[in-house]
Structure formats: C-alpha cells, structure tokens
Amino acid sequence: MLVLRRGSGCAFLQPGLVGIDITAADVATATEAATALGGLWLSSGPSAPWHNPSQAGVTVRAYADLRRAPLPAAIDPGTG
C-alpha cells in the first residue's frame, strides 16, 4: 500500500513547495515512488527510509517544487 501525505514535515511554508511522506510495504517500493516524483516536479529524491513501530511498512520523504518542471534527465524514467 502506498500512502502520500502532502505537506507532512515541511520545514518551509511557501506556495508551491511540498514535503511528501511515502509509506509502502518495503524500501524498494517507497524509494521508487519518491524517485518517480522527479518525473513530475523538481524534487529532492527520496530520503533514507525509516520505520515507525506503530505503523506498518517503511517511510521515505521527498521535497518537491510544484512551480518548476523536472530536470530534463528526470523526464524519461527509462533513462535513469
């Protein structure tokens, strides 16, 4: 299961900037989902994964700038 929570843990409050926590059953899925954000928006990429004992799965965080297009190399996921 993939859970996206926009705005979770944002260290900044500016229009168009978001922090997204992605929780998935395993590290590979969570990391892949956070990496895919780079194809949509300029993104930090995934953080190191962490596990919350009260929650199933693992979580990674990514920051994205919704005001800017992704970098050209990130547009085609098949090129990475």
This prediction has a pTM of 0.69
- What would the pLDDT profile of 4-26 be if each residue is shown by its tens digit? 454 455 456 688 888 999 999 99
**10 neighbors 33 (Cβ within 8 angstroms):** no
pLDDT at site 33: 93
pLDDT at site 71: 66
- What would the pLDDT profile of 24-72 be if each residue is shown by its tens digit? 999 999 999 999 988 888 888 899 999 989 888 999 999 999 888 776 6
Q: Is 76 helix (H, G, I), strand (E, B) or coil?
A: coil
**75 neighbors 44 (Cβ within 8 angstroms):** no
pLDDT at site 1: 41
